[in-house]
Structure 1
Amino acid sequence: MPSGTELKREDILKYLRSRRSHLRQVYRVRRIAVIGSFARNEHHEQSDVDLLVDIEPGTPGLFDLKRALRAELETEFGRPVDLASERYLKPYYREQILREAVYA
């Protein structure tokens, strides 16, 4: 997987799609999308990877699960990863984020 400025939105999407079954089984991910600068193809060397993640409701140990998911993705992408939940998006940004989201 390319890292640094070489990492592109399509690299992230390709990885997430190839790992769909793993993400569902291990982390209970129902849907995942690239958002933020990578979704808009405006990223730079210091950009983190922002992902919108939908995890099955009622999943026990959600905090630890998300922390483990973030760690796995940071290792894979070679840069910080932010995980967001649609449920907790700020109303001011919600519409724009959902419009720009690119689902894997």
Structure 2
Amino acid sequence: MSHPKVIQAVRIQFPNVDSDNDGFSDNLELYLGTDPLDNCPDNINDPAWPPDFNNNQVVNIIDVLYFGDKINKKVADDPSLKRYDFNMDGTINIIDVLYMGPYMSKRCS
């Protein structure tokens, strides 16, 4: 079993690489906790595509509603909120919700 801090220390980041071609850089996906090598969920437990919070392969208003109780919260207070912090600024806000716009009503493939 490897230690998470060791993995963080040796992670090489390439900010503009998008290995799975889903529109999100590998660096962002590693931060969000989605799989940078998988562009579409295979099941509801597969967080592959960043804007698809319920992992049903389509982005819609249901996914946007996941932000509801997270707005204005800090990642420092709850690291699980990273999943919603699209601009990686440490706060969940309307800017993060706006990242959903280009993907609304789209299906991953």
TM-score normalised by L of structure 2: 0.27
TM-score normalised by L of structure 1: 0.28
The structure richer in helix per residue is: 1
The structure richer in strand per residue is: 1
Larger Rg: 2
Tell me: higher relative CO, structure 1 or 2? Use CA pairs within 8 A at least 6 residues apart.
1
